[in-house]
Amino acid sequence: MGPLMTNYSELFDLAGRRVLVVGAGSGIGRESALALAAHGAKVVCADRDAASAAATADLIGAAGEPAVLDVLDPNAVQAAAEQYADCAALVFTAATNVRKRIADYTLEEFDRVMNLNLRASFSLLQAFAPRMAANGGGSIIGFSSIRASVVEPGQSVYAASKAGLVQLARTAAAEFGPAGVRVNVIAPGVVETPLTAQIKDNPDWYGAYAAKSALGRWSRPEELAGAVVYLASDASTFVTGSVLTVDGGWTAVDGRFDPPA
């Protein structure tokens, strides 16, 4: 008798699994929730805004469940982890940015960016990873950014928060890996979401970012959803502590000038 063959048709099958998406009310979070549901998952659509969470759950239908969650409240995060202790995967996309030069930043702005982008991520890991470990495993997926590795003026605190998230995820992967919990982050480039509306409103700025990617354009939120499904599914059972870059080649290409030869 030969070795057991893997049924590759089921690699991305999430049937029977519950996934919690934090930030599901809009943008990448909403598209991720829709994509996970399309592959069979029961999706808890969590967002600080109740109406947005409900709208995403309505788009999904019977497999969607809205939830109000303020990730800045550690008690609320712990309560969610208890309520959804059976989650097979956790996705969190919530983030904010204040674009200012270092000399112009206030400490209040520093705290606002760090609290949502890094402290809340820590709270989610601290609450959910031990429960997943007790259940025999799971997948945790955060959202970093190309700004974790390449920067520009005005991105200091945002970049620091996203770089911090990478190391936080790697450490969680080390600590919870023996219990079967995988922890990874996705690093998008520029995505057309409410967070980047300020740039889109400036044609020169928008065009410069489009030209920086190898594909010559911005990404759409739905183009991040495949990476989320991959990391939540059995297609990635040996992937942990990784940064999955989805940036259209931005960080690969030194593209400020196209030489003649």
- On whether residue 169 sits in a domain, the answer given is yes
What's residue 2's pLDDT?
Answer: 55
- On whether residue 69 sits in a domain, the answer given is yes
What's residue 103's pLDDT?
Answer: 98
- On whether residue 212 sits in a domain, the answer given is yes
The domain of 161 spans 15-246
- On whether residue 257 sits in a domain, the answer given is no
- On whether residue 24 sits in a domain, the answer given is yes
Of 188, 248, 238, 206, nearest to 29 (Cα)?
188
Is 209 tagged catalytic?
no
Q: Contact at 8 Å (CB) between 124 and 77?
A: yes
Average model confidence (pLDDT) across the chain: 95
What's residue 98's pLDDT?
Answer: 95
Taking the model in full, what pTM does it have?
0.95
Of 92, 38, 80, nearest to 60 (Cα)?
38
Of 146, 24, 50, nearest to 41 (Cα)?
24
- On whether residue 138 sits in a domain, the answer given is yes
- On whether residue 9 sits in a domain, the answer given is no
- What's the pLDDT tens digit per position in 114-153? 999 999 999 999 999 999 999 999 999 999 999 999 999 9
What's residue 194's pLDDT?
Answer: 73
- On whether residue 236 sits in a domain, the answer given is yes
Q: How many domains does the chain have?
A: 1
The CATH number that applies at residue 156 is 3.40.50.720
Per the residue annotation, which of 84, 158, 209, 230 is the catalytic one?
158
Mean pLDDT to the nearest integer, 162-185? 98
